[in-house]
Chains A and B, each alone.
Chain A
Amino acid sequence: MSDVKFSKEHEWLKLDGEIATIGITKHATEMLGDIVFVELPEKGSSVVKDGNAGVVESTKAASDVYTPVSGEVVENNQSIVDDPARINSDPEDEAWFFKLKIKDKSELDTLMNKEEYEKFSKESTS
């Protein structure tokens, strides 16, 4: 998991060649509570770093999902749309949100590694 990067908006990103798989972190799901609805960006659409790329809703509230890098959506995970509870049970693996063909690899440099993110999420909670 050393190739996983994290954003300040609590998204994770795993890179495989030009394709980045993106989801929300376990820490994010713990803050949100039980997720009951998810909206994903459409396949073929373009998303811009730190821009809107979907919505997750818990019983309590709706929260925006942002994309940590720019690119074209090549796939979205229909299984979490059909069963949003999967996001709570396995957020950092099976319940990925979407895959991007990334536009600019240098954007990855702005993201955190696992240790940095853990420190960041601890500080942002307290």
Chain B
Amino acid sequence: MGKKVNMKDKKTALNSLHKKYGAKLVSFAGYEMPIQYSKGIIEEHENTRKNAGIFDVSHMGQLSIKGDESLAKDLEKIFPTDLSTAKLNQSKYSFLMNEEAGIHDDLIITKVEDGFNIVLNAACKHSDFKLLSKFLANKYEMILSEELSLVAIQGPNAVKILEKIITGVSNLKFMNGGIFKYLKEKIYITRSGYTGEDGFEISIANNNVETLVEELISEGANLIGLGARDTLRLEAGLCLYGHDMDINKSPIEANLKWAISKNRILEGGFIGFEKIKSQIEKGVSKVRVDIKPEGRIIAREKTSIFSKEDKNIGEITSGTFGPSVQAPVAMGYVENSFSGVDTKVFLEVRGKKYPASISNLPFYKKSYVKGANK
């Protein structure tokens, strides 16, 4: 992940802070981003699982679309998610799809007072903006912010640390947000993340973000780079756009049907509905699964997957060594008939085939806090 930094790369508002804390910077989705800091990926990973990690995710798109009930109705013609009935400050995971249900992007959409906030993948945000402007026929004000940073704090101590700085965040429920005050300015915080841990994502003005991060550090949280972000999300079985899903895969193939609201499948009327409906009824030929290699062999992206009969049945889309589970972890797509839990498969690494099995659980048990800390 990530190449050498490029002169054209954009910098986030935390760039000089990253350098101060010894970040190794790489080019990622057009931004100069920290892949790791001085202690390295494994220590950063473990610190997030045991304490609290801070992630600069300001490269991601923060889009706000302003409008009333008609906006919710119009967005339901795009996203396969119940939005008219979404409660104020409720967040939902969703997809921007094409007519063939291929995924343009995966995203988190949150109902706010004056419309909806959407967090988009960095590499997709500008094309998403164009698509959404077109679909909504410029009826609503849309702002893809350049003035806001996005910082995540994740881990068992995240709530304790953030509550010390911003009173009230412990009352937030998982996948819910709210407006808070920091340095006399309004900030928006959701209880969510991408590590399998309890935690928060904080949307804050660029000029205040460095102060906040320094405070989080002084309260005991540690900076975490994109390297550990990848091992953390993979252990938790969370997909990465551009790897575990893309324009050639549907949410059904990506095994993310849970994210499509039941009502919407009954009612239809969103982009990609016909394809989704037919895939639910008739099944899909390939499906995403978690794969557990035996032993220590690491099967990375593009590793071929074989059946017992030596038939090529699919490909790994993400794979690494999971520091918390102390074992290799992977996910990929296999032919549907081989997707059953515990099915034995073989992974071809450097010309040799190694045994593995289909797994039904994330490798690392998620520890989200469903209710609020009271």
Q: List residues of A whose CB falls within 8 A of some B CB.
A: 33-34, 36-37, 39, 55, 57-62, 85
Contacts and interface: CB of A to CB of B under 8 A. Distances in A.
A55 B230 CA distance: 22
Given A34-B40, A37-B298, A57 B321 contact: yes
B231 A59 contact: yes
Dominant secondary structure at the B interface: mixed
Interface residues of B, number: 21
B41 A33 contact: yes
A33 B296 contact: no
A61 B298 CA distance: 10
B227 interface: yes
Contacts of A57: 298, 321
Contacts of A58: 41
Interface of B: 1, 35-36, 40-43, 45, 227-228, 230-231, 296-298, 300, 320-321, 323, 328, 350
A55 B43 CA distance: 23
Given A36-B321, A85-B42, 7 more contacts: A34-B41, A36-B323, A37-B297, A57-B298, A59-B230, A60-B35, A61-B300
Nearest to A57: B298
Contacts of A59: 41-42, 45, 227-228, 230-231, 320-321, 323
Contacts of A39: 350
A57 to B, nearest CB: 5
User: Top 8 A-B pairs ranked by shortest CB distance?
Assistant: A36-B321, A34-B42, A59-B41, A34-B40, A57-B298, A37-B298, A34-B41, A37-B296
**Max count, chain A CB within 10 A of own CB: residue among B36, B227, B300, B321:** B321
A39 B295 CA distance: 12
A58 B45 CA distance: 14
B298 A33 contact: no
A55 to B, nearest CB: 7
A65 to B, nearest CB: 12
B321 A33 contact: no
Nearest to B39: A34
A29 to B, nearest CB: 10
Nearest to B231: A59
B89 to A, nearest CB: 36
A36 B40 CA distance: 12
B109 to A, nearest CB: 31
A60 B41 contact: yes
Contacts of B230: 59
Contacts of B298: 36-37, 57, 62
B321 A62 contact: no
Contacts of B297: 37
A35 to B, nearest CB: 9
B215 to A, nearest CB: 29
A61 B230 CA distance: 12
A123 B246 CA distance: 39
**Max count, chain B CB within 10 A of own CB: residue among A33, A34, A39, A62:** A34
B36 to A, nearest CB: 7
Nearest to A58: B41
A78 to B, nearest CB: 13
22 contacts: A33-B36, A33-B40, A34-B41, A34-B42, A34-B43, A36-B321, A36-B323, A37-B297, A37-B298, A37-B328, A39-B350, A55-B350, A57-B298, A58-B41, A59-B41, A59-B45, A59-B227, A59-B228, A59-B231, A59-B321, A60-B1, A60-B227
Nearest to B321: A36
Nearest to A64: B350
A61 B36 CA distance: 14
A57 B298 CA distance: 8
Contacts of B36: 33
Nearest to B36: A33
Nearest to B42: A34
A62 B40 contact: no
Contacts of B323: 36, 59
